[in-house]
C-alpha cells in the first residue's frame, strides 16, 4: 500500500491530470447541457458559478478515484 503522500504525488502527475481534465470536459459539458441547456441554446444569461462548478466536480471526482486507486496499491 502506498502512503497517502506518495499517492497524492502520483495523482498530480501529468498523465493522470490529463485524464481527469478529459473526464471533466466530457462530463461537465454533458451536465451543463442538461442543467443550463435552454439558457445556452437561447443565448440567455447562464449562471457562471454553476457552469464552472459543473466542470470542477468531475475533475475532482476523477482525481480522487485515481488517488484512491493508487493509495490501495
pLDDT digits (tens, 9 = 90+) for 23-35: 999 999 999 999 9
* pLDDT(1) > 70: no
Q: State how far the Cα of 40 lies from the Cα of 14, in Å rounded to an integer.
A: 32
Q: What local confidence, expressed as pLDDT, does residue 35 receive?
A: 94
Q: Domain residues for 38?
A: 4-71
Q: Whole-model pTM above 0.85?
A: yes
Q: What local confidence, expressed as pLDDT, does residue 13 receive?
A: 96
Q: Around Cβ 39, how many Cβ atoms within 10 Å? A: 14
Q: What is the mean pLDDT of the chain?
A: 93
- C-alpha angle 9-52-19 in degrees, rounded to nearest 5: 35
Domains: count for the chain = 1
Amino acid at each position: 500500500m502506498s502512503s497517502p503522500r506518495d499517492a497524492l504525488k502520483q495523482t498530480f502527475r501529468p498523465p493522470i491530470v490529463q485524464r481527469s481534465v478529459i473526464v471533466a470536459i466530457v462530463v461537465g459539458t454533458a451536465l451543463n447541457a442538461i442543467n443550463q441547456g435552454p439558457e445556452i441554446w437561447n443565448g440567455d444569461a447562464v449562471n457562471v458559478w454553476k457552469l464552472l462548478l459543473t466542470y470542477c466536480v468531475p475533475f475532482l471526482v476523477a482525481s480522487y478515484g485515481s488517488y484512491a486507486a493508487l493509495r490501495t496499491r
